[in-house]
Amino acid sequence: MVCHETYRVGREWVYPEDVERDAEGALRRRSDGALVAVGRSEKMSKSRRNVVDPAAIIEAYGADTARLFMLSDSPPERDLEWTTGGVDGAWRFQQRLWRMVTEPSVPLPAPSTAIPADLADAELTLRRAAHRAVAQVTDALETFRFNRAVAHVRELGNAIGEFAGGGDSSGAVLRESLEFLVRILNPIMPHLTEELWSLLGHRTLLADTAWPESDPALLESETITIAIQVNGKLRSALSVAPDTAKDVLEKTALAEPKVQAAIGDKAIRKVIVVPNRIVNIVV
């Protein structure tokens, strides 16, 4: 259900579009200036007059913005609280997305430009974010978690927004990431993404383009978090490469300041290391 606040003047219900705030901050009815009382938020209904005209939203923001907001706010099984602020946030993301494509941080090469295997750190980081977003959005859409899909799209948008290049393949990596972003956003914002797909140099409809596939090799995490316990109590954590050797994990864990403080002057009886998971120090 889509919900909205209710407004009344006496016993008469008032449409949200007929309510305005005066100089003192009070809500009044536009037609006669009568003071408006705010009721609880309820599902939109004509009887309560707490409905928002879709035509007005589409005229002000566009259909894609309305779609993005409604899908991003909550999962389908929960109520959606309609707010102007939420629509504004979706509209700002749309403007940001437009600038990403029309004003890229580095020049973009032609479509289908190959990406070398040897990449700078910043390039590899962005590629990982792009391929991870494809996998996450695919799963979210297939399980009807549209709000999660939008959240993952925004994460990729943030990664692209922070990318400033740093290697010979920056343009190719940025193009791939932008194209992934546009393609996975297409079911949610079909009109804008079709336009962006064209601006990226493609002459076929995005709706006729195959869904992107992520590279499993790029989904593997560069680092993992290892918990460090002292006598079973969490004291710190390590960020290390996967499959780091046991002796290296033990040495690094024992050097952690918080771990040293927890050990104090006690004797270490043994160190239990479970690779890729935990280091437990028994004192």
What are the per-10-residue average pLDDT scores of the chain (283 residues)?
Answer: 91 92 92 93 91 85 90 80 82 94 93 88 92 95 92 95 87 96 96 97 95 88 82 87 85 90 91 90 93
pLDDT value for 221: 64
**In 10 A of CB 244, how many CB atoms?**
17
Residue 64 domain flag: no
Q: How far apart are CA 71 and CA 42, in angstroms?
A: 19
**Domain identity same for 116 and 213:** yes
**Domain identity same for 22 and 144:** no
Residue 213 domain flag: yes
**CATH code of the domain containing 268:** 3.10.20.590
Q: Who's near 147: CB < 8 A, 6+ residues apart?
A: 71, 72, 73, 74, 75
**Domain identity same for 176 and 246:** no
Question: If phi over 0 gives left and psi between -120 and 50 gives alpha, with beta otherwise, what is residue 28?
Answer: beta
**Domain identity same for 15 and 113:** no
**Domain identity same for 92 and 215:** yes
Residue 65 domain flag: no
Residue 80 domain flag: no
Domain that holds residue 237: 224-282
Bridge partners (DSSP) of residue 238 are: 226
pLDDT value for 222: 65
pLDDT value for 76: 76
- To the nearest 5 percent, what fractions of the chain are helix, strand and coil? 45, 20, 35
**Domain identity same for 206 and 232:** no
| Residue at token pair 């295997």 | 117
Which two tokens mark 89?
């946030």
Number of domains in the chain: 3
Of 139, 182, 177, 184, nearest in space to 159 by CA: 177
Taking the whole predicted model, whether its pTM rises above 0.75 is answered as no
CB contact at 8 A, 182 and 190: no
Q: Report DSSP state, residue 76.
A: T
Residue 77 domain flag: no
pLDDT value for 91: 92
**Domain identity same for 235 and 199:** no
Question: Which of 197, 219, 241 is at the close of a domain?
Answer: 219
Q: What angle do CA 121, 140, 204 make, to 5 degrees?
A: 75
Strand order across the beta sheet in which 278-282 lies: 233-240, 224-230, 278-282, 270-274
pLDDT value for 228: 93
